[in-house]
Homo-oligomer: A and B are copies of this chain.
Amino acid sequence: MADDGAKLPLLSSSEQAASPSKQKEKTSNKMRRFRRCKSAPAKENIIMEKNKGGLSSLVSQNILQKLHPSLRQVTLALVMYIGLGTLCFFMVRKQVSGHKTNGVIDAIYFCIVTMTTVGYGDLVPNSVATKLLACAFVFSGVALVGMILSKAADYLVEKQELLFVRAVNIRRQVGATEIAKELETNRVKYKFLMVTIALAILIVVGTVFLFEVENLNLIDSFYCVCSTITTLGYGDKSFSTEGGRIFAIFWILASTLCLAQFFLYMAELHTESRQQSLAKWVLTRQMTSVDLEAADLDDDGVVSAAEFIVFKLKEMGKISQEDITLVLEEFDGLDVDQSGTLTASDIFLAQSSPAGS
């Protein structure tokens, strides 16, 4: 679900940094025979280039401009959603029944409780219009939360983990290169760790707050916290004071997102370890003559390094035959002299003739 666009700025820097030392470790002179596709631009850069002049150029506030583009978009959507929701539910506040405090605070609180699908039921719509309004808000809220989860949280956690790893390594006097390498290898693990710590803090803060401010006993406080962060929201215990609801607005949003992200990373860890064991299996299994023949893409009797890469990555499921076919079609268009290889003259001919484009 989550597109990994936000990960790439870090990835590309660590790539450049991590592999020279990797080469030294094991295959020092052998590896030099092969160049690396250095100039291939990172995916994120291309996307950002293409998005320039879109929404981002319209926003000129100072705070927003400092944020990552995808984070900016999400923040804007969130502010608009809560703003519109508060306005609507404030206007129809007479048609909402239940335990009420301040009109504006209740409207924001109701908006957050609905959007995150906690739905305590301590405030419920009691007219046809408000019921349909709540239906519309919960659907768009779920879509918005999904968007936030996939985009922004990933970015925030990455910033956190960089600070975290830096703090851990500061005494060991290791350079930025080593930190980047460390991050690259254990990316998902660090993310998972960061989100677990954040979740633990949010649970403790929520429990203490409910105990102190809402005068619940410790068990009830913890029960209400669990019921809230999982978006269960039975509603027998909820935030009933004005101060409690102000706290709840921020705390519910943060903790429900945090728990969802926690489960997301847990799934990612599982997927990653499965992929790693598959990659290991593919790489270490014995090559047969049938494999050799299949890997020989240009049918010249030998398997080059690049052919080996394509074969093995296809076996690992990282690339599909469809990807390969698509690129090969483009290759054939560029290979004007049909030699089976591309040279500078092929490129020149292909791009100067109208048939080659």
1/0 contact trace for A315-326 toward B, CB 8 Å?
Answer: 111111111111
User: Could you say which of B47, B117, B267, B286 contacts A230, with CB atoms under 8 Å apart?
Assistant: B117
Query: What's the number of copies of this chain in the assembled complex?
Result: 2
Contact size class for A?
Answer: 35 or more
Q: Please tell me if the beta carbons of B117 and A232 are within 8 angstroms of each other in the complex.
A: yes
Which chain B residue shows the least CB distance to A232?
A: B119
Give the distance in Å from the alpha carbon of A104 to the alpha carbon of B43 in the complex. 55
Q: A211 an interface residue at 8 Å Cβ cutoff?
A: no
Q: Please tell me if the beta carbons of A138 and B227 are within 8 angstroms of each other in the complex.
A: yes
Which chain B residue shows the least CB distance to A329?
A: B27
Is the contact region of chain A dominated by helix, strand, or loop, or is it mixed?
helix
Give the distance in Å from the alpha carbon of A22 to the alpha carbon of B27 in the complex. 41
Q: How distant is A335 from chain B, measured CB to nearest CB, in Å? A: 8
- Stretch in A31-39, A71-79, A167-175 touching the partner: A31-39
Q: A146 an interface residue at 8 Å Cβ cutoff?
A: yes
With A306-B307, A319-B313 as contacts: A268 and B331 at CB distance below 8 Å: no
Q: Please tell me if the beta carbons of A310 and B311 are within 8 angstroms of each other in the complex.
A: no
Enumerate chain B residues within 8 angstroms of A66, measured Cβ to Cβ.
none
Binding site for B on A (CB under 8 A): 1-3, 8, 11, 15, 18-19, 22, 26-27, 30-31, 33-43, 46-47, 50, 114, 117-121, 124-126, 128, 131-132, 134-135, 138-139, 141-143, 146, 150, 184, 219-220, 222-223, 226-227, 230-236, 259, 263-264, 266-268, 271, 274, 278-279, 281-284, 286-292, 294-299, 301-334, 338-344, 347, 351, 357
